[in-house]
């Protein structure tokens, strides 16, 4: 159900026969900043997986995953144009702002989905390609179309989409799944609720105006603060698991423990925030730090993985 009428957007990209969309608008449809972290987690999965991969095929694999993530972002922006138009954070996106017509965004998203999946299948393997297709479907259909407007657990279930990329990267090399790639999935899966609910707390008015049932709006701030702390407390030990299970080194182990301790501290400060705190500084800090945390963990895993491959006979 639409929160607002977007029929005015139908002919949005042409006036007097001239397209108003610029290349930058199509780039924005790909959600490039989120994609950067998705790409990092996918490369990490690919590099840590046992077995050789031709560097050119590895490059094509990552490009396909990036394209697929971008495609799912475009499909999300097509479907969500009505609610994006109501929220200050998203109102200037190309579709709600009228620079790209909804049907153009849809066609772009579908074409890119097809291109990314077929490229991955033809160049790398069809298991990874099917997994990529499933992930695009999960974000664009299961999260965006089915869960987001229906349940405050939307991001807990839907967040799985954002956690699959390291498993896809791993599958590009091995053609299958593994306990290690599942642990990488689990780190992102458990990270998503504190990452997003911290933001949802200080963007509550936006979500309220758009009628999206995010946890702070539905269950209140106190419940959200508790859930953030609970997920963080589970996330941090799981973040150390790659070291405990022996597929990451001591540098990673120490970083995961230290950064994890700070993550829990910020989650605790968020939990202790006073009711009606307008500034919400702890929640803002936690949101910002959540991004740094995941970049750091996967960045270190990646560096360790590259070093291990470079020093091993057979390398890549
Ligand atoms: C359902 C799960 C998720 C939800 C609902 C969500 C939501 C959001 C939102 C609303 C923002 C703010 C963007 C803005 O200011 O416009 C954001 C930022 C960000 N998210 Fe997430 N996120 C989720 C999962 C992920 C995942 C899985 C990743 C990558 C692995 C990720 C990476 C990022 C990054 C890098 C940013 C900062 C860049 C930016 O501000 O656009 N997120 N997220
Ligand atoms: C490989 C592949 C296909 C990966 C795609 C998975 C992916 C990038 C998931 C990220 C989830 C995400 C950014 C949700 C944003 O929520 P939202 O859409 O509700 O946020 P918004 O309000 O900013 O639009």
**What ipTM did this prediction achieve?**
0.94
Is residue 137 domain-shared with residue 196, that is, in the same domain? no
| Residue 1 resides in a domain | no
**In the prediction, which pLDDT does 57 show?**
97
Give the pLDDT score at 12: 44
pLDDT confidence of residue 80: 98
Residues 207 and 229 in one domain: yes
Contacts of 50 (CB under 8 A, 6+ apart): 173, 174
pLDDT value at residue 200: 96
User: Based on the domain organization, do 13 and 129 belong to the same domain?
Assistant: yes
- Dump strand ranges (E) for the chain: 14-15, 18-19
Tell me what pLDDT residue 9 has: 44
Residue 36 backbone phi and psi in degrees, to 5: -60, -40
Both tokens of 244, joined, read: 């405990």
| Protein residue with its CA nearest to atom 11 in ligand 2 | 162
Residue 19: per-residue pLDDT: 55
The Å distance, Cα 34 to ligand 1 centre, comes to 6
Q: Considering the entire predicted model, what is its pTM?
A: 0.93
Cβ of 136 closer than 6 Å to ligand 2, yes or no, is yes
Predicted local confidence at residue 278, as pLDDT: 80
Pair (168, 187) in one structural domain:
no
DSSP classification of residue 236: H
For 66, 138, 147, 217, the CA distances from 142, given in Å and listed in that order, are: 20, 5, 6, 21
Greatest CA separation for the chain: 63
Structure tokens at 144: 């965006």
CA distance 217 to 75: 25
Closest to 173 in 3D by CA, of 51, 68, 302: 51
Domain final residue, candidates 156, 175, 194: 175
264 C-alpha vs ligand 2 centroid, how far in Å?
24
Is the CB of residue 148 below 6 angstroms from any atom belonging to ligand 2? Answer: yes
Q: Whose CA is nearest to atom 7 of ligand 2?
A: 162
Same structural domain, 196 and 276: yes
CA distance 207 to 94: 19
Domain boundary among 145, 160, 175: 175
Quote the pLDDT of residue 250: 97
Question: The domain containing residue 307 runs over which residues?
Answer: 178-316
Kindly give the pairing relationship between strand 14-15 and strand 18-19.
Answer: antiparallel
pLDDT in tens, the chain (316 residues): 344 444 434 434 444 444 578 889 999 999 999 999 999 999 999 999 999 989 999 999 999 999 999 999 999 999 999 999 999 999 999 999 999 999 999 999 999 999 999 999 999 999 999 999 999 999 999 999 999 999 999 999 999 999 999 999 999 999 999 999 999 999 999 999 999 999 999 999 999 999 999 999 999 999 999 999 999 999 999 999 999 999 999 999 999 999 999 999 999 999 999 877 888 999 999 999 999 999 999 999 999 999 999 987 666 6
């Amino acid at each position: 159900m639409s929160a607002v009428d977007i029929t005015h957007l139908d002919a949005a990209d042409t006036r007097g026969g001239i397209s108003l969309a610029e290349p930058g608008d199509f780039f924005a449809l790909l959600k490039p900043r989120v994609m950067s972290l998705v790409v990092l987690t996918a490369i990490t999965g690919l590099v840590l997986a046992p077995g050789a991969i031709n560097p050119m095929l590895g490059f094509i694999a990552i490009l396909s995953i990036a394209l697929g993530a971008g495609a799912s972002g475009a499909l999300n922006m097509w479907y969500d144009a009505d609610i994006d138009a109501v929220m200050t954070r998203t109102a200037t996106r190309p579709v709600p702002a009228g620079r790209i017509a909804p049907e153009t965004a849809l066609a772009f998203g579908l074409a890119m989905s097809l291109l990314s999946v077929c490229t991955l299948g033809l160049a790398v393997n069809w298991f990874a390609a099917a997994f990529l297709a499933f992930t695009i479907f999960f974000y664009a259909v299961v999260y965006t179309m089915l869960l987001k407007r229906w349940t405050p657990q939307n991001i807990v279930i839907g967040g799985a989409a954002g956690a699959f990329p390291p498993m896809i990267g791993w599958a590009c090399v091995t053609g299958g799944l593994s306990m290690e790639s599942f642990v990488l999935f689990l780190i992102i899966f458990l990270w998503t609720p504190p990452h997003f609910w911290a933001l949802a707390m200080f963007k509550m008015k936006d979500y309220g105006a758009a009628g999206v049932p995010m946890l702070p709006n539905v269950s209140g701030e106190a419940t959200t603060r508790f859930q953030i702390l609970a997920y963080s407390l589970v996330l941090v030990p799981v973040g150390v698991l790659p070291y405990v299970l022996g597929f990451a080194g001591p540098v990673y182990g120490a970083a995961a423990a230290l950064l994890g301790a700070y993550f829990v501290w910020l989650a605790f400060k968020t939990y202790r925030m006073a009711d009606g705190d307008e500034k919400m500084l702890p929640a803002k800090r936690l949101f910002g730090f959540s991004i740094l945390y995941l970049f750091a963990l996967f960045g270190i895993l990646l560096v360790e993985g590259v070093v291990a491959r470079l020093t091993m006979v057979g390398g890549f």
